Amino acid sequence: MTAYDPNNIFAKILRGELPCHKVYEDEHVFAFLDIMPRVTGHTLVIPKAPSRNILDIAPDDFAHVARGAKTIALAAMKAFNADGISVHQFSEAAGGQVVFHLHMHVLPRHDGVAMLPAASRKEDDKVLQENAAKLIAALKS
Ligand code: AMP
């Protein structure tokens, strides 16, 4: 399998070399808003351990990401008054993966509202800032 590339976008975000709208961080995981959200509040949860995808991540690191996704899911239900949550994880190009640092998408869903196609629209920075603040507040409550 292809080796992990430490210069992928999410590795740069983790190292603070690129900006992001961070919403959560602990010893093992980091979470930030997707800049091309498929729904309002679309969040990405990534491991701090360098892992390309589900095929190479250590099981314990994957468990940390799953735990982080649950934390974000519960907060997103409150923050965005959601009716449900979709969690996606894509591995390798054939699986739909575009950025090769493992990530789980946490997508707050509303009854009758379809997701936008992937990477179809870059969100306004101000809107992302407001949504990050809502999620951070819900994580604290
Ligand atoms: P995937 O197809 O699972 O690899 O999805 C990659 C996701 O990363 C897409 O939803 C993109 O919108 C998102 N994305 C790409 N670049 C950035 C970035 N700099 N900050 C936040 N999200 C990003």
> What is the CATH classification number for the domain harbouring 50?
3.30.428.10
Ligand 1 neighbour 86 (Cβ under 6 A): no
Structural domain of 98? 9-140
Q: Is residue 2 part of a domain?
A: no
103 labelled catalytic: yes
Q: Is residue 106 part of a domain?
A: yes
Per-residue model confidence (pLDDT) at position 85: 98
CA-88 nearest atom, ligand 1: 3
Q: Is residue 59 part of a domain?
A: yes
Q: Is residue 134 part of a domain?
A: yes
Instruction: Find, among 21, 20, 16, 18, the residue nearest to 130 by Cα.
Output: 21
Cα 105 to ligand 1 centroid, rounded to whole Å? 9
Helices 125-140 and 59-79 pack at an angle, to 10 degrees, of 100
Q: What is the mean pLDDT of each run of 10 residues along the chain (141 residues)?
A: 94 98 98 98 98 98 98 98 98 98 98 96 97 98 90
The pLDDT tens digits for 112-130 are: 999 999 999 999 999 999 9
Ligand 1 neighbour 133 (Cβ under 6 A): no
Per-residue model confidence (pLDDT) at position 1: 75
Count structural domains, the chain.
1
Q: Considering the candidates 101, 103, 105, 110, report the single residue annotated as catalytic.
A: 103
0.75 exceeded by pTM: yes
Tell me the Ramachandran region of residue 27: left when phi exceeds 0, alpha when psi lies from -120 to 50, beta otherwise. Answer: alpha
Q: Is residue 84 part of a domain?
A: yes
Q: Is residue 22 part of a domain?
A: yes
Total residue count of the chain as it appears in this document = 141
Ligand 1 neighbour 20 (Cβ under 6 A): yes
Ligand 1 neighbour 115 (Cβ under 6 A): no
